[in-house]
Amino acid sequence: MSAPLDVLPPPPDFDFLRRIQPILLPAYQRYFRASIEGWERLPPGPALLIGNHNGGFVMPEAPLTTLSYHQATGFQDPLCVLGHDLAFKLPGLRRFVRACGTIPARSGPAESALRAGRRVLVSPGGDHEVMRPSRDRDRIDFGGRTGFVRLALRTGVPLVPVVCAGAHDVWWCLARGGRIARALRLDRSRLRIKAVPVALSIPWGIAPGFLPFLPFPARIKLEVLPPLELEGSPDDPAAIQRGYERATSAMQQALTRLAADLPGRR
């Protein structure tokens, strides 16, 4: 159930981010040879940032996006990051993600933040996309999830695509494992886990993808695209579909272009 709209999510802990950013962001950029471009394209005021999701539980694009955003905005504009429930169930991780501005992936808190003038980052593909097989690594796969379009239309904010190429190369995912999750009834549990992937990773070799692993030093390219202004009613299926197709098409074109410069793509 969504949180009440009048409950404004807490902002990130800027003091904490100022301390870790000079350490973590350069470390990520060096290890992944990451390039990050386009933050100057952010429009003023509230916006819904939409990113593609990669790399299983490592999700290297998440800290790269969050830390580089705060560096680019001078730790002045709070960014709310929608995260999976699992991040708030693990004691060691819960405090960290909250300090970074992560909130549960619910429409209520997100809408409240946007109406308060904040920016919100969501990965619409969620666990469906982050656990996709590596053969689809260069494909935007939101799984038909259109909630982000409804949210943008309800609040009247632009969509800002944030496209990441190469981040899914931190492992080699053989299968998403949706049937396994359903067989174990994890999709109906409180954790809402819909995929139990099988992957090749360090140090496990071929093993369940939920085990902690050392990411391969993949090369990552991240780019913020120009904002998309949507039109129509959030109750109009045609407007929702148009917004979904426009966003995913723009992101797919950018992902294809960025991936063409990565090793092994030509």
Residue in the block written with tokens 């009247």: 156
pLDDT at 125: 94
8 A C-beta contact, residue 49 and residue 121:
yes
Amino acid at 10: P
Q: What is the DSSP string of 81-147?
A: EEE-GGGGTSHHHHHHHHHTTEEES-HHHHHHHHHTT-EEEE-TTHHHHHT--GGGTTS---TT--H
Give the Å distances, CA to CA, from 39 to 36, 69, 240, 259: 8, 7, 26, 19
Average pLDDT over residues 188-193: 69
Q: Tell me the per-residue pLDDT of 40-96, one tens digit each, with 9 for 90 and over.
A: 999 999 999 999 999 998 999 999 999 999 999 999 899 999 976 665 566 666 777
In the chain, alpha helices (H) = 14-31, 61-72, 91-99, 107-115, 126-130, 147-155, 178-183, 237-259
Cα–chain center distance at 181? 21
Q: Confidence class of residue 104 from pLDDT cuts 50, 70 and 90? A: confident
Q: Tell me the per-residue pLDDT of 117-138, one tens digit each, with 9 for 90 and over.
A: 999 999 999 989 999 999 999 9
Return d(Cα 5, Cα 249) in angstroms, integer. 31
Q: Is the peptide bond before 203 cis (omega within 30 degrees of 0)?
A: yes
- Rg of the chain in Å (alpha carbons): 18
Mean per-residue pLDDT over the chain, rounded:
90
- Supply the DSSP symbol for 202: B
Coil, strand or helix at 224:
strand
